[in-house]
Amino acid sequence: MSTALLVVDVQNGFCHPDGSLPRLGRELDGAAAAVANTAVAVARAREAGVPVVFTRHVYRPGRVDEGPRLAELSGGLAELHGLEVGTWDADVVDELGCTAADLVVDKARFDAFLWTSLDPLLHGLGVTGLVVCGVVTNICVESTVRAAFMRDYRVTLLEDCCAAMTRRQHEIGVEIMRDIGFAAIASIGGGFTFGALPEAA
């Protein structure tokens, strides 16, 4: 099985203390730890020769691609130009070392497969298995894991490389993905490497 590491939305807007969501009082519980663990996962993937794909949740200036339902949930994000394409807020956090040479897929919906080039990119890489991490556990990560499962990818979730608004919401998201069988659950702290991937439940 050819595997890729999919890093979902580990952006300044979500994970940096000066990002737009923390400035709106919507910081993620455990974001700093998730970023630190994700940096380890990225380094291990690169050492193993495993492709790393970063997603970014971004909007065009004027937010014409946001849509009315997401706008209802944004809670003042537009006024801060939060997650706007080309801004620091939209960038992947520095700790992950994402450069212009890396594979980056931009999206405007929770599901990273919806209306993006992610699926053809993974097919082009010959990928059949995904190791997934990122934020928010029970929103964009879970939506993407469900979509990956429905496209027949075998998914492993790195639970300690994820964060949500509350610890309980994170735990619920992990529980659903694990118990329904959408993903096998592993952790960087538990010694995960890219050499031996667990089977999904």
Can you tell me the distance from the alpha carbon of 201 to that of 65, in angstroms, rounded to the nearest whole number? 36
The residues assigned a catalytic role are 9, 107, 140
